[in-house]
């Protein structure tokens, strides 16, 4: 059902426009970047971006899979009726001016008109399917392809996340701006994404959940990791949520305990959402048991504090590992977990430490911290890490902590899907979520 919306053969945009920096032109330009048939509907403008326009969707002779409605709210329902008559297979209503501003009646009417056709919105930024080159949104950015699905009750948040992601190496499978969920709701999208091969991990920004029971029933059967950023947790936030999307943000403790019961990973900021999505996009979850290697003792102390607070285990190095290290590494290396290879470590000292730790059975993943010091060989170390990652297949997370000095090294790591997170506290949070078991 949703496939016609995410992979349409033909799209009609009702409310297309030539005028720069408007919703109607934003969507039009995004649509034109794809390769499918696009039809622009606008009774007042004969040509838009050098394409002929139609006065009504009913004037188009070809079949329409997806209709996008971006007209003033007052005429949306009339347009929706024409879409039903045209037998489109799915509708996105971009227009705002429905239940989010208290106009429940208008939204109920829309739902009634589109009761047999899947509806995204109203009050939605649109949807994006990078692999199919479908950008049916007015987002000012085109995301990279990848395996992260993103569902959001805030369109602005999608824009910001896409913007941030262009500096990163991960990408997206599907993006949905949920809008008011007048037709399709959170549960419907989650069900679709669970079956969607291109999606490995699902991220959500929520202020409230409309159909709680359905959500619960669907999510409890989903195997893919779901990361949720829920706002409106405090009295102040709830009030703000009410004026934003009209969501009743509900009791925070109940939400959090339901999320926990369902095995969802709850995060507390946009940054943490993206860190966690990145790590679960690239790595598979593993058991609790982390080895740490660093060239800065202070980094190890900080990491130890954070890991302790997150109940992450640091297995002691066993006799076999120590024997290995005693043969290969000099005396002054601090042979513990965290292991401090000391500030003057060249890449080969990291190599010995990393391999010994990866061989220890109860170390299920590795956390490697490196600061740029006078002798640091960052690119060589990065290459060694990718080699050992491919050899031992245990998840590795890195914190190469620096500005531009580690740029190349981080590219080497992330090209092989070894995530680098620049701040130790944030990295430990993602390790917590990586070792999390449903």
Site for a copy of itself in 109-138 (CB under 8 A): 138
Binding span for a copy of itself by CB under 8 A among 8-16, 143-151, 292-300, 386-394: 292-300
Query: What does DSSP say about strands 126-129 and 172-177: parallel, antiparallel, or unpaired?
Result: antiparallel
Q: Is 304 in the site for a copy of itself (CB under 8 A)?
A: yes
Q: Name which of 222 and 424 has its Cβ closer to a copy of itself.
A: 424
Closer of 199 and 376 to a copy of itself (Cβ): 376
Look at the block and give the residue holding tokens 């911290």. 369
Q: Give the ranges where 196-251 is alpha helix by DSSP (H).
A: 212-219, 235-244
Element (H, E) at 14: strand 10-14
Is 430 within 8 Å of 275 (Cβ atoms)? Answer: yes
Applying the rule CB under 8 A, the residues between 35 and 94 that interact with a copy of itself are none
Residues of this chain, 382-411, that bind a copy of itself according to CB under 8 A = 401-406
Other C-beta atoms lying within 10 Å of the C-beta of residue 414: 19
Q: Which residues of 255-276 are buried (b: 16+ CB within 10 A; e: fewer)?
A: beebbeebebbbbeeeebbbbb
> Cβ of 132: how many Cβ atoms within 10 Å?
17
Decide: is 241 part of the binding site for a copy of itself (CB under 8 A).
Answer: yes
Is residue 192 a contact partner of residue 184, using CB atoms and an 8 Å limit?
Answer: no
Name residues contacting a copy of itself, limited to 317-356 (CB under 8 A): 332, 334, 336, 338, 340, 343
Minimum separation from the CB atom of position 217 to a copy of itself (A): 26
The yes or no reply on residue 192 touching a copy of itself (CB under 8 A) is no
Binding residues for a copy of itself, rule CB under 8 A, total: 82
Rule CB under 8 A: which of 4-33 touch a copy of itself? 21-23, 26
Site for a copy of itself in 150-169 (CB under 8 A): 152-157, 159-160, 163-168
Whichever of 28 and 79 has its CB closer to a copy of itself, that residue is 28
From the list 231, 321, 386, 435, which residue makes contact with a copy of itself (rule: CB under 8 A)? 231
Q: Please, which of residues 257-276 interact with a copy of itself by CB under 8 A?
A: 268-272
Q: Could you report how far apart the first and last alpha carbons of the chain are, in Å?
A: 29
Cα–Cα distance for residue pair 197/393, rounded to 1 Å: 22
Regarding 430 and contact with a copy of itself (CB under 8 A), the answer is no
């Amino acid at each position: 059902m949703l496939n016609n919306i995410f992979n349409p053969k033909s799209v009609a945009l009702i409310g297309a426009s030539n005028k720069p920096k408007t919703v109607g032109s934003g969507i039009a330009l995004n649509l034109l970047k794809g390769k499918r048939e696009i039809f622009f509907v606008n009774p007042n403008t004969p040509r838009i971006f050098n394409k002929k326009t139609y006065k009504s969707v009913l004037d188009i002779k070809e079949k329409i899979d997806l209709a996008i409605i971006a007209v003033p709210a007052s005429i949306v329902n009339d347009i929706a009726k024409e879409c039903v008559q045209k037998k489109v297979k799915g509708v996105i209503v971009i227009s705002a001016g429905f239940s989010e501003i208290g106009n429940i009646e208008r939204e109920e009417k829309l739902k009634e008109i589109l009761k047999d056709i899947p509806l995204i919105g109203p009050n939605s930024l649109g949807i994006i399917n990078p692999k199919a080159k479908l950008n049916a949104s007015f987002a000012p950015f085109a995301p990279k392809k990848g395996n992260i699905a993103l569902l959001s009750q805030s369109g602005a948040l999608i824009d910001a996340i896409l913007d941030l992601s262009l500096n990163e190496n991960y990408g997206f499978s599907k993006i949905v701006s949920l809008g008011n969920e007048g037709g399709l709701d959170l549960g419907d999208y989650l069900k679709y994404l669970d079956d969607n091969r291109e999606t490995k991990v699902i991220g959500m920004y929520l202020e409230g959940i409309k159909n709680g029971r359905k959500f619960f029933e669907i999510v409890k059967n989903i195997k893919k990791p779901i990361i949720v950023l829920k706002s409106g947790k405090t009295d102040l936030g709830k009030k703000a949520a009410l004026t934003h999307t009209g969501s009743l943000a509900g009791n925070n403790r109940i939400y959090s305990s339901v999320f926990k019961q369902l095995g969802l990973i709850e995060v507390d900021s946009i940054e943490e959402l993206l860190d966690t999505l990145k790590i679960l996009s690239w790595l598979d979850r593993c058991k609790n048991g982390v080895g740490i290697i660093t060239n800065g003792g202070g980094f190890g102390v900080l990491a130890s504090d954070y890991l302790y607070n997150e109940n992450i285990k640091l297995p002691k190095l066993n006799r076999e590992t120590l024997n290995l290290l005693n043969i290969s590494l000099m005396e002054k290396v601090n042979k513990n977990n965290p292991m401090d290879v000391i500030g003057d470590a060249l890449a080969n000292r990291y190599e010995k430490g990393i391999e010994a730790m990866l061989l220890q059975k109860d170390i299920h993943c590795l956390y490697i911290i490196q600061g740029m010091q006078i002798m640091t060989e960052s690119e060589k170390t990065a290459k060694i890490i990718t080699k050992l990652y491919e050899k031992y297949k245990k998840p590795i997370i890195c914190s190469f902590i620096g500005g531009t000095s580690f740029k190349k090294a981080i590219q080497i790591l992330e090209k092989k899907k070894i995530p680098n997170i620049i701040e130790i506290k944030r990295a430990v949070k993602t390790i917590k979520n990586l070792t999390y078991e449903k």
